[in-house]
A = this chain, B = another copy of it.
Amino acid sequence: MSRVKMIIKRMKVKNELVRQIMGEVLGTFVLLLFGCAAAAQVKTSRETKGQFLSANMAFSVGVMSAMYLSRAVSGAHLNPAVSLSFCVLGDLAWIKLLPYSLAQILGAYLASGLVYLIYHDAIMEFSGGVLTVFGPNETASIFATYPTDVVSMQTSFLDQVVGTAMLMLCILPLNDKRNAPAPEALLPPIVATVVLGISMSMSANCGAAINPARDLGPRLFTFTAGWGIEVFTCYDYFFWIPLVAPMVGGVLGSIIYLVFIQWHLPELEDESESEEFNEQTKEERRVRANDREYNEKFQYAVSRTYNLYIINIL
């Protein structure tokens, strides 16, 4: 066995960022595989093997599973809006925002491809072989999100801002030692429940992407797989809304949490009490410490601008 162990050891990825990217790719892959496969199941079975609610629930199970899978590796952001929020909060190095986001989009793209393979026969049967964005036999909405006919651009934008703000506002307290947090080891199902809540209440207008990677990855896949450029041009170039609005909403929700709740919570009295509540693994703390260090260097370089920016928005 020693030879096997040696091989494993040699294959161990030493670079932290590479490991984190692997974690985000695989995590987002799992999230989207559950989510898009459920959408395909509901759509192609014409709601005989599931309904809107079961697709929401499957996305929620995807969140839970992806978080257990990769949060020790990468924090399981699974969402560029979450990564951006953690950058603003100082918990992720700004320099990692782009790689994280690209990893998430890649994971979403790959999952879409696999869902297409699994449901190829059913999609062909359902759509009569015509891959389209419109009409009763459209199948594009299995992958990316699209608005209803009646909703305006501004409302869609607001909808995505509010949805993602709710996401950050509701998940930040879950892990805040100064608040009354959820058990560390049960964060994944509780975060998943929040996501389920958002899907059940804010997905009527434009599908509750609240996650640029969850939307762009599958959209790119459908573009390359035969649905054509319409996936980008339809609904008056709607596609940019689930890319931009969640970024705005995530930061907004984080700031609301800080300003209205977090700043006013009592400080943890001493390190020993903090330890008591602290169920993070050493690794997590090390990574987080690393990220804070990166951030401090980065912020040093842009400190004046950054300080002014923070002061302005707060």
Contact = CB atoms under 8 A, between A and B. Distances in A.
A132 interface: no
B48 A49 contact: no
Copies of this protein in the assembly total 4
Contact of A200 (B22, B54, B178): B54
Contact of A121 (B11, B151, B173): B151
Which residue, of A13, A33, A45, A64, has the highest number of chain B Cβ atoms within 10 A? A33
Interface string A262-289: 0111100100000000000111100000
Given A166-B30, A201-B34, A53 B53 contact: yes
Contact of A41 (B49, B68, B181, B204): B204
Interface string A110-136: 000010011111101100000000000
B122 A314 contact: no
A150 to B, nearest CB: 4
A193 B64 contact: yes
Nearest to A196: B61
A248 to B, nearest CB: 15
Interface string A152-166: 100100110010001
B200 A65 contact: no
Contact of A264 (B22, B125, B269): B22
Interface string A207-225: 0000000000000000000
B51 A118 contact: no
A282 B261 contact: no
B307 A283 contact: no
Interface in A16-52: 19, 22-23, 26, 30, 33-35, 37-38, 40-41, 44-45, 48-52
Interface string A66-81: 0011111100000000
Given A4-B311, A183-B183, A41 B202 contact: yes
Interface of A: 1, 3-4, 7-8, 11-13, 19, 22-23, 26, 30, 33-35, 37-38, 40-41, 44-45, 48-58, 61-62, 64-65, 68-73, 114, 117-122, 124-125, 148, 150-152, 155, 158-159, 162, 166, 169-170, 173-174, 178-186, 188-190, 193-194, 196-198, 200-205, 256-257, 259-261, 263-266, 269, 281-284, 299, 307, 310-311, 314
19 contacts: A1-B299, A3-B311, A4-B311, A11-B263, A12-B264, A34-B198, A40-B204, A54-B200, A57-B196, A57-B197, A64-B197, A68-B173, A69-B170, A69-B257, A119-B205, A121-B152, A121-B155, A180-B284, A182-B186
Ranked nearest first, the 6 interchain pairs of A and B with the lowest CB-CB distance are A61-B197, A38-B201, A37-B201, A41-B204, A72-B180, A65-B170
